[in-house]
Amino acid sequence: MPALTGVRVLDFTHYIAGPYCSQILADHGADVIKVEHLEGETGREAEPKFDEKSLYFASQNRNKRALTLNLKSIEGRDIVQRLVETADILVTNYGLGVPERLGIGYKDITSINPEIIMVHITGFGATGPYRDRAAFDGIIQSMSGLADLTGDPEGLPTNVGFYIADHIAGLQGAMGTMLALQSRERTGKGQYVDISMLDGLISMLGYYPGDVLLSGKNHSRAGVSDPRAFASIFPTKDNGFVYIAPVRQPMWENFARMIGRKEWLDPDSPFYSREARLEKENREELEAMISEWTSQHTKMEIVSLLQNEKIPCGPVQTLLDVVHDPQVRERSMIKTVRTTDGEDLPVPGVPIKLNETPANEVSDLPEIGQHSNEILMELGLSPQEINFLKQEKVI
């Protein structure tokens, strides 16, 4: 039985951060009810698509039940109240003030159910001078300093290749949910979980904030090289790339011997010590010489040679490489969700493996309002009442 079996989540989310948060809970057994307006969540139409089905939507909305609801109607608000009475958690990533206008603000829902937990993911959080600003992933990457740390030293600041700020906010939303659930076990009270996308990225900056505050100096972009260790990406014979990281001295010495550069092991060599290897001119010369060697071998030849010598390395994989990688397949990190039309859409798998309470198997992707009748009947509505709500365009 999955870990969150018996926990009910109301999902008032769109795009990535909120849906990803609630999908994590759904993967681990929570009954997640995705509440959408009558036309469906905006993400359902997002590219890329396969046979008119959005891979964007599929990647963060599996294992959920779908309910359509007109939240501006009196009847719709009444259904929300009934749902809140039965729920443990409400997740939303609507902007500040929007939940209140829809009748699902924290005060609204706790007046109905004092034990409910509200997880609210926004760009900048519920406090601070930026709290009312709109935010997208690229804005957060830019404002967090991540874009300025990423890219070629002589080039422009660069965003990473996927929506990292959204996904980290979703992950931290799920973590915040678990903390609030644990607290409720002790106190019997729910609480408001305030998640900021900007906070999420800044929390992962590690030593950088302390370093710039104490030194008064900005960090420059390091490109493909690790600024604190001799590790970098090198070209290969088959037009690929490999990351090589002989970061400790014994690794470096094994690496030098393996590629026939024993002269680097002379204590007088400018490449002998870690400190010397990191000096700009020495590093550039060293990386050029290593590139000459790597260009004579294929990517996988290099990986095999270095792994045999216990020298850390890895191929730079394309996404096509990744989805066929045997490690990725063995760990079930590519799954498929089936649409109501019978199409199988590949999506990322579940990263958290629990041996006693394994995650749910991936369910079919819910269509707009697919479970509306089922959910409303669970709330005690009759078939006649449900038909009336359909006629009145409430569901």
pLDDT tens, residue by residue, 291-314: 999 999 999 999 999 999 999 999
pLDDT at residue 315 tops 90: yes
In a domain, 355, yes or no: yes
* Cβ-based neighbour number of residue 79 at 10 Å: 23
In a domain, 230, yes or no: no
Does residue 84 share a domain with residue 176?
A: yes
Does residue 299 share a domain with residue 247?
A: yes
pLDDT of residue 247: 96
Does residue 154 share a domain with residue 23?
A: yes
pLDDT of residue 290: 98
Percent of the chain that is helix, strand, coil (3-state, to 5): 40, 15, 45
Does residue 165 share a domain with residue 68?
A: yes
For this structure, is 199 an active site residue?
no
* Cβ-based neighbour number of residue 190 at 10 Å: 23
- What number of helices (H) and strands (E) belong to the chain? 18, 13
Does residue 125 share a domain with residue 35?
A: yes
For the segment 81-93, the average pLDDT, to the nearest whole number, is 98
pLDDT at residue 170 tops 90: yes
pLDDT of residue 342: 87
What distances in angstroms separate CA 156 from CA 148, 152, 164, one per listed residue?
8, 7, 19
Place of tokens 């609480």: 191
Q: Find the DSSP H helices in 309-353.
A: 319-324, 326-330
Contact 90, 116 (CB under 8 A): yes
pLDDT at residue 384 tops 90: yes
pLDDT of residue 340: 84
Amino acid identity at 375: I
- Contacts of residue 162, Cβ cutoff 8 Å, sequence gap at least 6: none
User: Which residue, 289, 315, 341, sits at the end of a domain?
Assistant: 315
- The CA distance from 59 to 337, in Å, is 9
User: Which residue, 256, 291, 315, sits at the end of a domain?
Assistant: 315
The residue ranking higher by pLDDT, 70 or 362, is 70
**Confidence class of residue 207 from pLDDT cuts 50, 70 and 90?**
very high
Roughly how many angstroms between the first and final C-alpha of the chain, as a whole number? 32
- The CA distance from 13 to 93, in Å, is 5
- Measured in residues, the chain has a length of 395
- Contacts of residue 261, Cβ cutoff 8 Å, sequence gap at least 6: 289
In a domain, 220, yes or no: no
- The CA distance from 350 to 355, in Å, is 13
Enter the DSSP assignment of 2.
Answer: -
pLDDT digits (tens, 9 = 90+) for 1-34: 999 999 999 999 999 999 999 999 999 999 999 9
Q: Which of 317, 186, 183 is nearest to 240 (CA)?
A: 317
Q: What is Dmax (Cα atoms) for the chain?
A: 89
In a domain, 1, yes or no: no
- The CA distance from 303 to 198, in Å, is 37
Options 166, 268, 341, 344, the catalytic residue: 166
- The CA distance from 33 to 42, in Å, is 17
353: Cα separation from own chain's centroid: 16
User: Which residue, 266, 287, 315, sits at the end of a domain?
Assistant: 315
Does residue 259 share a domain with residue 351?
A: no
Contact 172, 165 (CB under 8 A): no
Looking at the DSSP assignment, which residues form a beta bridge with residue 68? Answer: 36
In a domain, 226, yes or no: no
Residue 64 sits in which domain range?
8-204+325-391
pTM summary value: 0.95
What distances in angstroms separate CA 328 from CA 75, 118, 240, 307, 393, one per listed residue?
47, 34, 20, 19, 45
pLDDT of residue 220: 84
Between strands 117-122 and 192-196, the pairing is parallel
Does residue 193 share a domain with residue 105?
A: yes
Does residue 295 share a domain with residue 189?
A: no
In a domain, 210, yes or no: no
* Cβ-based neighbour number of residue 84 at 10 Å: 20
- The CA distance from 193 to 118, in Å, is 6
CATH number of 284's domain: 3.30.1540.10
Looking at every residue in the chain, the average pLDDT score rounds to 96
Does residue 275 share a domain with residue 163?
A: no
Contact 140, 148 (CB under 8 A): no
Does residue 286 share a domain with residue 267?
A: yes
Does residue 256 share a domain with residue 351?
A: no
Does residue 366 share a domain with residue 251?
A: no
**Confidence class of residue 219 from pLDDT cuts 50, 70 and 90?**
confident
In a domain, 59, yes or no: yes
The pair phi, psi for residue 65, each rounded to 5°, is: -100, 145
User: What total number of domains does the chain contain?
Assistant: 2
pLDDT digits (tens, 9 = 90+) for 259-288: 999 999 999 999 999 999 999 999 999 999
pLDDT at residue 341 tops 90: no
CATH number of 117's domain: 3.40.50.10540
pLDDT digits (tens, 9 = 90+) for 40-50: 999 999 999 99
For the segment 174-198, the average pLDDT, to the nearest whole number, is 98
In a domain, 259, yes or no: yes
